[in-house]
Amino acid sequence: MIGHVDADCFYVSAERVRYPHLQGMPVGVLGNHGACIIAKSYEMKAAGVPTGMPIWEATPICPKGVFVKRDFRWYEALSRKMLAIVQEASPRVEFYSIDEQFFTTTEHTQEFAGRLQGEILQRVGVPVSIGIAPTKTLAKLISDSSKPFGCGVIHNDRERLALLRDRPVTDITGIARRSAKRLAEHGIHTCEDFANADRAFVRWLLTKRGEDLWWELNGTPVIPILIARPRHKFVSRGGSIGKASCDPQRVHAFVVRNVERLVEALTHYRICCDSLILTLLFTNEPERSLRSSLLGSRADFEALLEAAMYLLPRVWQPRSAYVHYMHVIADGLRPLANRQRSLFEQSQLVDIKHRINNEMGRFVLRSGATLPLVDVYGDAANEYDICDIYGKSCF
């Protein structure tokens, strides 16, 4: 059997661990620039505040709300404690995300799930919901349906079908809005409809990934527990730049910052890339994205910045467009140890920068082009990077 542990409102719960007076209050956790709500308590959700809403729109809706700035360093510390407890209960644990883990188990009773739940609450202080089922997809569905602070176990087909009945297909991890729309065109609206659909038809419509989910919903495990990090397909850095801007200096500074973050990630994972992609999202124009091939496989700041600067004026069209989001993406990844070095590379400066920042603190030594970002580097909350989570695996 497979278990799924999912923290309830994790960021808010983590804040309540160190600030107990927040218990029972409507709490919103703010993102990088202190503007948008990236997580909320059940109390704030009940007041009608959605994730992603700016604080100035949320305050009139929930005047008693308390808003705190995110602290990913703290969340990671609690997440590691949760992981250690689950690893005590199971020899095979998949670190699925900062607040979720899958694990194999020979115990599949409500009592076992309740004991694990109580252990995490007592030792970490974070409430979790737990689901146990024959497959990962069913385990996640049952833990989601047990929130908040509940446990659910599927032992037989009767309980499986009861879980799937009347539940929208979008509740299945892997079925996003576009897939749901395609399924709806063929009369498939609920998880039960999906499980009862013709398997070959599902594969034709949603490829092998859809077929895997069909098997999982019908109780046959085909998606394995991954106890090791899968290889990266690409590495990306970016996100919101705060208030949308068409200021060339500010947009340029954010590109440089994200290239520095990207190099930091590539160095950490000892990989390099063959090409770089720059994507800009605008408030008043469609999203644009372009790729630049690199001269060999690279992971150094100079080469990636040169590629990004080549792309920037070509992606930023027209220049009057307001940029509010960007991604710098390393593609064509390969191990750093296997790459062919260029005769013209000057690794000494990169190594010195890396060594100083490791010893003195992140971004102590950084490009002068990022100096205009006083709001970013003046905020200690930006010293830690949630994008250290790749895909669904981190640490």
Give the Cα separation of 394 and 221 in Å (integer): 24
Residues 6+ apart with CB under 8 A from 106: 1
Q: Residue 142: what are its φ and ψ, rounded to 5°?
A: -75, -35
Long-range contacts of the stretch 155-158 (C-beta < 8 A, 24+):
155/108, 157/219
Catalytic (active site) residue 100: yes
- How many C-beta atoms surround the C-beta of residue 202 within 10 A? 23
Closest by alpha carbon to 137, among 188, 228, 211, 203?
211
Give the Cα separation of 246 and 312 in Å (integer): 13
What SS3 class is residue 184? helix
Give the Cα separation of 309 and 304 in Å (integer): 9
CB 211 within 8 A of CB 201: no
Q: Residue 95: what are its φ and ψ, rounded to 5°?
A: -80, 95
100 phi-psi bin (left φ>0, alpha ψ -120 to 50, beta other): beta
Give the Cα separation of 305 and 309 in Å (integer): 6
Give the Cα separation of 158 and 214 in Å (integer): 17
Give the Cα separation of 54 and 242 in Å (integer): 11
Instruction: Look up tokens 């690893």; give the residue.
Output: 87
Catalytic residue chosen out of the listed positions 15, 94, 100, 211: 100
Give the Cα separation of 237 and 384 in Å (integer): 13
Provide the terminal-to-terminal Cα distance of the chain, rounded to the nearest Å: 26
Hey, which residues are catalytic here? 100
